Amino acid sequence: MAGISSAVICLLALFFLWQAVGKFSDEYLREMYEEGLLVPGMIVKTEPLTSMAIANMTARDGAATVNGFYCLEVKELDGAQKILFEKIPCSQVICSI
């Protein structure tokens, strides 16, 4: 449960940082993409364009499986057809607080 809480807090912190700064630097985005875990995502709404990703949040072997999901409204998805239920790859970054 602590892992989920820290991931949610981290995502919220990243969101507010992004809102405050306006955009992440290209170097920071590259590092997040390279260090992130590739998880399945899907377009769940076309107006506004919204994607949802789901990932296993379990941090250690043998623990009960806990899945988490995150919906994100996006302005643009390069390379996507932007149709309902289209599968898209997403990068997940876990932050420990």
pTM of the entire predicted model: 0.58
What does the alpha-carbon distance between residue 71 and residue 53 come to, in Å, rounded to a whole number? 7
Residue-level pLDDT at 94? 65
pLDDT tens-digit readout, 13-72: 777 666 666 566 778 777 777 777 788 999 999 999 999 998 888 878 888 988 888 899
Give a yes or no: residue 11 inside a domain: yes
Domain assignment of residue 7, given as a range: 2-92
pLDDT at 8 exceeding the cut of 90: no
- Cβ atoms of 90 and 68 within 8 Å: the answer is no
Give a yes or no: residue 34 inside a domain: yes
Give a yes or no: residue 97 inside a domain: no
Give a yes or no: residue 26 inside a domain: yes
Residue-level pLDDT at 87? 94
pLDDT at 97 exceeding the cut of 50: no
- Cβ atoms of 7 and 56 within 8 Å: the answer is no
Give a yes or no: residue 84 inside a domain: yes
What does the alpha-carbon distance between residue 2 and residue 7 come to, in Å, rounded to a whole number? 9
Give a yes or no: residue 71 inside a domain: yes
Total count of domains within the chain: 1
The CA angle 2-52-61, to the nearest 5 degrees, is 40
